[in-house]
Structure 1
Amino acid sequence: MTPKSPTTQATSGGGTTDPVTTTEHRPGLRDFYENPSVPVASGDARSLRQARMLAEALGPARATPATVLDIGCGDGSAARTAAPLLSGHRVIGVDWSQDALRRARSLMSDVIRGELTDGGLPLGDGCADAVLFSEVIEHLVDPDAALDELRRVLRPGGHLMLSTPNLAAWYNRALLLAGVQPVFSEVSLRGIHGRPGKEVVGHLRLYTARALREFLTASGFEVVRMAGAPFHGVPRPLRALDRAACLAPSASSILLVHARKPGG
């Protein structure tokens, strides 16, 4: 999807080593995400579907609002789209990019800077009732450490709502048969090579539905539900087909996953 920020790649307070700078090519990744011209929106259709799944999981607002962390909040536009469905809950935006957080402050009341390395989020163990993790995991250098950190901040029984582009989307299957690089995949941060599209999106890895389910399970989560969402960048003549593909999540453009931390 269009990039938000890598989130796991920097410090929450500026005092520790930035993992992005530890290899020769990572400064380019850091600069890519701090570039204010990089688009950050992910599409209202995905945001709304994901928010509905989360609202259903959380249930009606209680006297004490549920704490929802929007990890990789970008400019806050996804949280704004989801806000009517999450009324009564406290949503905290978390991102690595200072520029993204500056923009998010105009749309969200609570934002903090953090990373997803071991203990990198400036939050206590089990502090969150739910985590929104929208089109972030495909940008991460170390998704294993990221999921460990998300599991740490979630309370037992807490919800993880994750979305990511589908490597096995219906059109990607056809493109691969034709010898074309799949949509959403990236070979360079400097230009597009061998695939459709006009924007460099900064994806480091992509997942199929099966791989994502196995990865989450191996990382200590229970997968409750997997659904599909359309991609706003699909050409207009193909959008009806893209919406229909959501009925079979393994072929949909976007994978939506509801997982939970065991216990509770």
Structure 2
Amino acid sequence: MEPAEYDLMDAAEERMWWYRALHARVIDALRRRPGPAGALLDAGCGTGGLLRRLVALRRPLAGLDFNPGAAARAAAKSGALTVAGDANRLPFDAGAFTALTSCDVLCHRAVDPPAALAEFRRVLAPGGTLVLNLPAYQWLHSAHDARVHNDRRFTARQGRTLLGAAGFEAIEARYWNALLLPLMVLQRKILRPDADHDSSDVAPFPPWLDATLHGTTVIERAAGRLGLRYPAGGSILLVATRP
């Protein structure tokens, strides 16, 4: 990502509605499908917001980010062991982890999805859980994607296909941020269709707006827990098992 984007992430990820919603869904998935007892890796940990929340799961944690400065911030924020490295060539032994999270990493232009997924499978022990978040729909590509060096967005079917080809099983792929998708389309394609590459979606929101947006994601999450599945959304959460 652009260096300034890490600064924005570091400042916003504790409070901003989108990060809070994402982290809650990742933790929900891990509580529902924890995998065997053992260590968890957050591959592409950024400045450590998710790692800090994963402490609540009470398991050994490690993080990896391509940017050494971000990895250092993640270590300071979470207390987890973090290293600088490449998702395409993870610097860990085979079977070192029993769960692995990776949020908005396979979309990055420097990441080769099949190579990264092969590495995720290699470092996971048999029975280990993989939790991925991916941005949805290539037609939603925007100035923010350019700023964070995202080259690709996905559909749920594409996500399932990638994980199946990489040898994962019991694959779930669910859209989320569904209720706010119309606002995403409005903001990205109508209000700012030609925004330059200095534009970022990560920024402080007025407290009333942040609370409203987060409350919408809470309602959506609660409905999902009751079994409601959304046919579309701004992001895709995938959960799978390494056989």
TM-score after normalising by structure 2: 0.71
Partner of 1:11: none
* Higher helix content, 1 or 2: 2
Conservation of the 8 A alpha-carbon contact between 1:226 and 1:249: no
Partner of 2:171: 224
In the TM superposition, 1:25-44 aligns within 5 A as 32=2, 36-37=6-7, 39=9, 41=13, 43-44=19-20
In the TM superposition, 1:136-175 aligns within 5 A as 136-141=105-110, 142-167=112-137
Closer, same or farther: CA 164–74 of 1 in aligned 2, 3 Å: same
Conservation of the 8 A alpha-carbon contact between 2:101 and 2:131: yes
Whole-Å separation in 1 of the counterparts to 2:55 and 2:230 = 25
Closer, same or farther: CA 211–201 of 1 in aligned 2, 3 Å: same
Which of 209, 214, 217 is equivalent to 2:161?
214
Aligned with 1:251: secondary structure? Answer: coil
Q: Could you tell me how far 1:114 is from its partner in structure 2?
A: 1.7
Partner of 1:134: 103
Aligned with 2:64: secondary structure? Answer: strand
**What letter corresponds to residue 116 of structure 1 in structure 2?**
A
* Cα displacement string for residues 36-90 of structure 1 (whole angstroms, at most 9, x for unaligned residues): 445364611111111111122127xx9xx51100000000011213332x12x11
Conservation of the 8 A alpha-carbon contact between 2:97 and 2:125: yes
* Cα displacement string for residues 233-263 of structure 1 (whole angstroms, at most 9, x for unaligned residues): 858588749965964344022211111111x
Partner of 1:94: 64
TM-score after normalising by structure 1: 0.66
Which of 55, 64, 68 is equivalent to 1:83?
55
Partner of 1:71: 43
Closer, same or farther: CA 66–243 of 1 in aligned 2, 3 Å: same
Which of 219, 235, 240 is equivalent to 1:254?
235
- Where relative contact order (Cα < 8 A, 6+ residues apart) is larger, the structure is 2
Whole-Å separation in 1 of the counterparts to 2:159 and 2:41 = 21
Whole-Å separation in 1 of the counterparts to 2:235 and 2:96 = 28
* Cα displacement string for residues 81-127 of structure 1 (whole angstroms, at most 9, x for unaligned residues): 3332x12x11101111011012112122211122123xx22211111
Q: Could you tell me how far 1:225 is from its partner in structure 2?
A: 2.2
Whole-Å separation in 1 of the counterparts to 2:103 and 2:84 = 17
**What letter corresponds to residue 91 of structure 2 in structure 1?**
P
Q: Could you tell me how far 1:198 is from its partner in structure 2?
A: 10
Partner of 2:200: none
Worse-superposed segment, 138-147 or 154-163: 138-147
Q: Say how many residue pairs are matched.
A: 201
Aligned with 2:148: secondary structure? Answer: coil
Aligned with 2:76: secondary structure? Answer: coil
